Amino acid sequence: MKHIVITGSTDGIGKLLALRLAKEGHFVGVHGRTEAKLKATVTEIKAESKNENVVGFLADFSNLSEVKRMAKEFAEKMPKIDVLVNNAGIFKVKTDTASNGVDVRLVVNYLAPYQFTNAVLPLLKKADAPRIVNLSSAAQSPVSLNALQGGMSLGANDAYAQSKLALTIWSFDLAKKEPSILVVAVNPGSLLNTKMANEAYGQHWSPAEKGVAILYDLSMTAKAKTSAYFDNDKGDYAQAHPDAYDAKKIEELLSLTNTLV
């Protein structure tokens, strides 16, 4: 039995992955933003998987103090984390700015997973072969350090693409700094049939199961490679955006990120 944490798992591929892993008998930490939905999801997964080892964790990832509180709760409720899937992400929102004045996509899709992961590193290090799977995207564009500090506003597409490149850059850097942890970034597939894609684009190209299958493989099988980017549109490992390999840009992004969280 592995201890597995999936953020953003009350919907879409996160929820489907949580269910699949619970059915296999693993201990699954499910995360959601609203209490009612989180409780309903945990109840549903327990019933469908006949596995009582499903625990819910509540935090709004647009608020970094909630992320911090949730990380403390993990330390109390989980002896270790074998696999962390940073799946929580948003695209379309009612309010573009988070409570810290930064675009909400940059906060939820990048700063929150960065903060949460760093806070639970001790739990990951208690596992024999820990893994982190970070959900990137085919959409990746150069990160504005000004926007990351709340100095300018971005359009939804741009903010999303910047947040996903930032997450990919950090994945590679974390893999280098923590050689005992396998860290892989993945584009689970463009326009999967999920709530996020349907809200953002009103359409989908591929079934959600395509994304669940690759997340499962990278979480649980030998398919995962550290410090790499898997592009599920191509069905293979691929090159991420050139900035993800630029030492100067990596250093600038991460030193700023450290000061922000």
For the segment 121-133, what is each residue's pLDDT rounded down to a tens digit? 999 999 999 999 9
Task: Give the tens place of pLDDT for each residue, 205-226.
Answer: 455 577 799 999 999 999 999 9
Average pLDDT, the chain: 92
- 122-178: per-residue pLDDT in tens? 999 999 999 999 999 999 999 999 999 999 989 888 999 999 999 999 999 999 999
d(CA 87, CA 71) in angstroms, rounded, equals 16
Mean pLDDT of 26-49: 98
Question: What is the rounded average pLDDT of the residues 5-34?
Answer: 96
**Quick check: 59 pLDDT over 80?**
yes
Q: Is the pLDDT of residue 57 over 80?
A: yes
Separation of alpha carbons 96 and 175, rounded Å: 31
- Residue 197: the pLDDT is 47
Q: How far apart are the first and last CA of the chain?
A: 33
Here the CATH number for the domain that contains residue 182 is 3.40.50.720
Tokens of 171: 């994945």
User: Which among 116, 137, 132, 113 has a CA at the least distance from the CA of 218?
Assistant: 132
Cβ atoms 108, 88 nearer than 8 A: yes
pLDDT of residue 206: 54
Q: Tell me, what's the pLDDT at 201?
A: 45
Instruction: Reduce the secondary structure of 106-153 to three states and give it as a string.
Output: HHHHHHHHHHHHHHHHHHHCCCCCCEEEEECCCCCCCCCHHHHCCCCC
Look up the domain containing 172 and give its range.
Answer: 3-260
What average pLDDT does range 51-59 have in this prediction? 98
What average pLDDT does range 10-26 have in this prediction? 95
- Count other Cβ atoms within 10 Å, centred on residue 128: 8
Residue 233 CB contacts under 8 Å (≥ 6 apart), including other chains:
138, 187, 189, 190
* Encoded tokens for 249: 């840009």
Strand partners, 85: 6, 133
Q: What is the rounded distance in angstroms from the CA atom of residue 80 to the CA atom of residue 74?
A: 9
Q: How many helices (H) and strands (E) does the chain have?
A: 10, 8
pTM metric for this prediction: 0.93
Task: Identify the sign of the CA torsion 159, 183, 228, 22.
Answer: negative
CA distance 33 to 55: 14
Check pLDDT > 70 for residue 15: yes
Please, what is the Cα angle at 93 between 172 and 145, to 5 degrees? 40
**pLDDT reading at 238 higher than 90:** yes
CA dist list (Å): 134 to 5, 34, 159, 166: 12, 22, 17, 11
Q: How confident is the model at residue 79 (pLDDT cuts 50, 70, 90)?
A: very high
**What is the mean predicted confidence (pLDDT) over 229-243?**
95
Three-class SS state of 59: coil
How many structural domains are present in the chain? 1
